[in-house]
């Protein structure tokens, strides 16, 4: 036998119906086995209160000239508003009494309680009539037959057995549920048939019941066809006047479906509860009202992680874990998720009860109601990832900082330079880059050992850090080399002040192993934007300047100037390095936009060669073009530049960037080749470029050396269909008569005349004269080196055709130029 006493209830109405059927035995015994009228009336009221759940019941007996009242009240108080009902008790048209009841459940005439109570009121009236007169009981029997009919048709199985549990009566529902015909089970035990020996124990418990008591349990039974089903039984005894059990009455309900559903729900809920309790992650469940996100549940892991007990946090909102640390970007993601009723994830700094911080990888998810329509709660998963975050931070620190000094290393240095330049560009400020090398540091290592050398480096790093602002960066490249980035410089001269401060700080003795040790430093300086626009070139130029300090006695400071570059690069065996650069594709072209002033459109670009040396990094043309000219390597280099520019022009045209003219500089040695036009023509044939979209730029001094030869060469080039531009115009000794004879299409005003054009009237007059002369000769005019809006506006008023310079765009690689061009045409 499998008998369970679950703490489960049917819905209120079904349970009340079930209880009414159970009351049948008690009320019948009270009405028909009680010999005295007062005892019967008191018992009837008591059963209604104690067994049917009424708050009070009373019967007022009409005795003609007087009345008697029999009542019974419950000890409990009403849970809500008390409702009252009065039913007249009549027999054959005569009023016998009144039944008055009070309850906190539905007593309306449409309710089941009213209908059943009315039937018992009629039965009570019959009993009163029987005890108070000698009338025959045939009408009472009629009503009993009616009551028996209702039992027979009840949706619940109703069985009546003798005191030993042998069936004497079973209604239609019993036969339908069990599958047995009534005659097949008369005289047999039908309360259960599981075959469990414990059945006998339960039977002894039932036989020990007294009037007013009952037994309830869930029983596993078997139908006639052998299939098992669960039924809920409520058994009550029927006793004689001596209190002995004469019969047992049971109401049975098939609960198989609900039983298994409840079991599954119980198991699922138990499993989920166990999962929450045993989870190593903190679980927090909160409400999701607009103004209420208070906590309703936390699991043990939450208590362990935060140090707060459940009692301390229930009713509070989860944001208390953040305390006053509200400046966390990820907090907005959680706020948005709560507002939008969606899932969210954030990495937050949270604080335990004892104030210690931990990193919380928080995941929140909405919980919907049964219909899936509204969000009622949020489940938050709290994962303490402090160890992981701290480990990642340590890895990041080690990857970006020097292990000896704690300064930024080369990786972080490159990032800091890029950020400093980007910020300075937006704010129109300068950046100073200082490369510092300790003088004769090897002597310290040799004399005192590497331990002393390491201590020296750490002290130097400390002094350098105290010489600059928090916004500046001090880095160690390796060995005894340090780099300092000075950001936000309003004046370029400020970098010299800092350099002298550093030399002064290093001049003080260092205490190493109890001895005073002195060291000096050589410092090279480069500046953005004067010397370059990216970190590689600035570091390269600072290195060149620093070596110039070494060459001139050390313990000093020098800023980079272009003349330093030629000497520095010659040390690298220029010829061999440049030959390998051509073979290994270390050369690339950058393109500076040319702007048509009348429309503001990009109409062309000047191709400028750059050398990316694998060891040195980016080398500016000023460092290698002069030596390439001397060694003759300028010839293959010049042809490569022209061919690469032509290929790029064709590529841009295919991508929709039509009518862009590319200007290419030609060196004097290249221009003096006898077969120059044939070589240029071969490049056009090889690349498929349109000569009409190519401009060759020749310097003024170049074309004036041998006028007759120049005229022949220019005409041969013009016959190819390309354009000729006279570069750096105004710095040479051009004759107007020669300008008329040369097949020139364009004049480029030298940058030296443009720098102060908006401030210096003399420069403005020279530029205006050049433009007027060019226009009179039907030549286009290009002004280079335009860096300010005022310069561009003044040139436009003078009639200048095109301009180029940093104000409109620095030289950039092909991809960057294409992006700039497309952005420009969409503006």
Specify whether 512 is located in the same domain as 594. no
Is the pLDDT at 10 greater than 60? The verdict is no
Is the pLDDT at 262 greater than 60? The verdict is no
Domain assignment present for 170: no
Which range is least confidently modeled, 137-141, 475-479, 722-726? 137-141
Domain assignment present for 617: yes
Q: Which residue has the tokens 């001049």?
A: 507
Domain final residue pick, 152, 168, 189: 152
Specify whether 344 is located in the same domain as 466. no
Spatial neighbors of 228 by CB under 8 A, at least 6 apart, are: 220, 221, 222
Specify whether 342 is located in the same domain as 374. yes
- 3 state SS of 43: helix
Which range is least confidently modeled, 110-119, 284-293, 694-703? 110-119
What pLDDT, on the 0 to 100 scale, is given for residue 250?
A: 86
Of residues 726 and 208, the one with the higher pLDDT is 726
Specify whether 721 is located in the same domain as 801. yes
- Give 573's pLDDT tier (boundaries 50, 70, 90): low
Query: What CATH number is given to the structural domain containing 299?
Result: 3.30.450.20
Return the H-helix or E-strand segment holding 124.
helix 112-132
CB 167 within 8 A of CB 180: no
Q: How far apart are the first and last CA of the chain?
A: 87
Query: What CATH number is given to the structural domain containing 98?
Result: 3.30.450.40
User: Across all residues in the chain, what is the average pLDDT?
Assistant: 82
Is the pLDDT at 134 greater than 50? The verdict is no
Domain assignment present for 774: yes
Specify whether 87 is located in the same domain as 65. yes
- Distance CA(181)–CA(178), nearest Å, equals 9
Specify whether 66 is located in the same domain as 99. yes
Domain assignment present for 109: yes
What pLDDT, on the 0 to 100 scale, is given for residue 431?
A: 93
Q: What percent of the chain has pLDDT over 90?
A: 23
Domain assignment present for 203: no
Specify whether 524 is located in the same domain as 590. no
Of residues 643 and 198, the one with the higher pLDDT is 643
Domain assignment present for 197: no
Is the pLDDT at 551 greater than 80? The verdict is no
pTM summary value: 0.40
What pLDDT, on the 0 to 100 scale, is given for residue 238?
A: 83
What pLDDT, on the 0 to 100 scale, is given for residue 568?
A: 53
What pLDDT, on the 0 to 100 scale, is given for residue 489?
A: 85
The tens digit of pLDDT for each residue in 32-67 reads 777 788 888 998 898 888 888 889 999 998 877 788
What pLDDT, on the 0 to 100 scale, is given for residue 159?
A: 86
Structural domain tally of the chain?
4
What pLDDT, on the 0 to 100 scale, is given for residue 251?
A: 86
Of residues 96 and 16, the one with the higher pLDDT is 96
What pLDDT, on the 0 to 100 scale, is given for residue 7?
A: 43
Domain assignment present for 162: no
Domain final residue pick, 332, 355, 387: 387
Specify whether 342 is located in the same domain as 475. no
CB 634 within 8 A of CB 667: yes
Specify whether 380 is located in the same domain as 456. no
Domain final residue pick, 387, 413, 435: 387
Determine the structural domain holding residue 506 and report its residue range. 401-561
Specify whether 429 is located in the same domain as 321. no
Specify whether 751 is located in the same domain as 798. yes
Tokens coding 245:
């059990």
What own/partner pairs with CB < 8 Å and gap ≥ 24 does 384-387 have? 384/282, 384/305, 384/358, 384/359, 384/360, 385/347, 385/359, 385/360, 385/361, 386/357, 386/358, 386/359
* Range among 130-139, 162-171, 394-403, 520-529 rated most confident: 520-529
Specify whether 700 is located in the same domain as 631. yes
Of residues 590 and 1, the one with the higher pLDDT is 590
Query: What CATH number is given to the structural domain containing 650?
Result: 3.20.20.450
Domain assignment present for 52: yes
The tens digit of pLDDT for each residue in 742-760 reads 888 998 888 878 888 888 8
Provide the β-strand partners of residue 344. Answer: 364
The tens digit of pLDDT for each residue in 318-344 reads 889 988 888 888 888 988 988 888 999
């Amino acid at each position: 036998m499998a008998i369970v006493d679950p703490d489960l209830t049917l819905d209120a109405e079904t349970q009340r119906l079930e209880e009414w059927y159970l009351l049948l035995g008690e009320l019948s015994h009270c009405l028909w086995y009680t010999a005295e009228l007062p005892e019967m009336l008191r018992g009837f009221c008591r059963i209604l209160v104690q067994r049917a759940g009424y708050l009070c019941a009373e019967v007022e007996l009409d005795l003609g000239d007087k009345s008697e009242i029999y009542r019974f009240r419950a000890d409990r108080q009403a849970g809500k508003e008390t409702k009252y009902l009065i039913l007249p008790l009549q027999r054959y048209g005569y009023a016998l009494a009144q039944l008055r009841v009070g309850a906190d459940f539905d007593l309306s005439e449409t309710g089941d309680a009213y209908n059943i109570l009315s039937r018992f009121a009629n039965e009570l009236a019959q009993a009163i009539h029987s005890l108070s007169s000698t009338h025959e009981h045939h009408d009472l029997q009629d009503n009993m037959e009616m009551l028996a009919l209702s039992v027979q048709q009840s949706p619940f199985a109703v069985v009546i057995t003798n005191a030993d549990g042998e069936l004497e009566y079973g209604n239609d529902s019993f036969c339908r549920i069990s599958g047995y015909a009534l005659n097949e089970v008369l005289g047999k035990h039908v309360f259960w048939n599981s075959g469990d020996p414990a059945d006998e124990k339960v039977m002894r418990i039932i036989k020990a019941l007294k009037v007013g008591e009952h037994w309830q349990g869930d029983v596993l039974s078997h139908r006639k066809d052998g299939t098992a089903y669960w039924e809920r039984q409520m058994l009550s005894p029927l006793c004689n006047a001596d209190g002995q059990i004469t019969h047992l009455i049971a109401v049975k309900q098939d609960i198989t479906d609900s039983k298994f559903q409840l079991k599954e729900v119980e198991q699922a809920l138990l499993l989920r509860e166990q999962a929450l309790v045993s989870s190593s992650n903190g679980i927090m469940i909160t409400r999701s009202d607009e103004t209420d996100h208070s906590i309703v549940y936390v699991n043990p892991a939450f208590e362990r992680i935060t140090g707060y007990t459940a009692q301390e946090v229930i009713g509070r909102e989860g944001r208390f874990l953040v305390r006053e640390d509200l400046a966390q970007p990820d907090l907005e993601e959680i706020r948005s998720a709560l507002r939008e009723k969606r899932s969210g994830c954030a990495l937050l700094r949270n604080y335990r009860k004892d104030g210690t911080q931990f990193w919380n990888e928080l995941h929140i998810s909405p919980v919907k109601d049964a219909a899936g329509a509204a969000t009622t709660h949020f489940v938050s998963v709290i994962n303490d990832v402090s160890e992981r975050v701290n480990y990642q931070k340590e890895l990041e620190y080690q990857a970006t900082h020097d292990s000896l000094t704690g300064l930024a290393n080369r990786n972080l240095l490159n990032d800091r330079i890029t950020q400093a330049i980007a910020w300075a560009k937006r704010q129109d400020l300068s950046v100073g880059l200082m490369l510092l090398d300790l003088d004769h540091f090897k002597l310290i290592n040799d004399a005192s050992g590497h331990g002393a050398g390491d201590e020296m480096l750490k002290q130097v790093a400390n002094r350098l850090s105290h010489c600059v602002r928090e916004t500046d960066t001090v880095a160690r490249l390796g060995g005894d080399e340090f780099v300092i980035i000075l950001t936000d410089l309003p004046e370029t001269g400020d970098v010299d002040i800092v350099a002298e401060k550093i030399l002064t700080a290093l001049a003080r003795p260092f205490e190493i192993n109890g001895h005073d040790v002195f060291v000096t430093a050589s410092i090279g300086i480069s500046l953005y934007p004067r010397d370059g626009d990216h970190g590689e070139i600035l570091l390269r130029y600072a290195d060149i300047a620093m070596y110039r300090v070494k060459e001139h006695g050390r313990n000093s400071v020098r800023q980079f100037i272009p003349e330093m570059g030629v000497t520095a690069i010659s040390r690298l065996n220029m010829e061999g390095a440049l030959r390998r650069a051509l073979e290994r594709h270390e050369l690339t072209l950058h393109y500076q936009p040319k702007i048509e002033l009348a429309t503001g459109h990009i109409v062309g670009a000047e191709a400028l060669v750059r050398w990316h040396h694998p060891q040195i990094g980016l080398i500016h043309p000023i460092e290698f073009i002069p030596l390439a000219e001397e060694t003759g390597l300028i010839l293959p280099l010049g042809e490569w530049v022209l061919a690469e520019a032509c290929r790029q022009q064709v590529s841009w045209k295919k991508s929709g960037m039509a009518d862009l003219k590319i200007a290419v500089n030609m060196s004097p040695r290249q221009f003096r080749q006898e077969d120059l036009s044939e070589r240029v023509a071969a490049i056009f044939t090889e690349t498929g470029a349109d000569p009409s979209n190519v401009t060759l730029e020749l310097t003024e001094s170049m074309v004036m050396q041998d006028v007759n030869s120049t005229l022949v060469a220019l005409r041969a080039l013009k016959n190819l269909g390309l354009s000729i531009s006279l570069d750096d115009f105004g710095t040479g000794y051009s004759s107007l008569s020669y300008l008329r004879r040369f097949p020139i299409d364009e004049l480029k005003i030298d940058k030296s005349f443009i720098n102060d054009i908006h401030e210096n009237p003399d420069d403005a007059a020279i530029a205006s004269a050049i433009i007027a002369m060019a226009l009179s000769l039907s030549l286009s005019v290009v002004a280079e080196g335009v860096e300010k809006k005022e310069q561009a506006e003044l040139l436009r008023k003078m009639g200048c055709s095109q301009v180029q310079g940093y104000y409109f765009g620095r030289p950039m690689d092909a991809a960057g130029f294409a992006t700039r061009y497309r952005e420009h045409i969409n503006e």
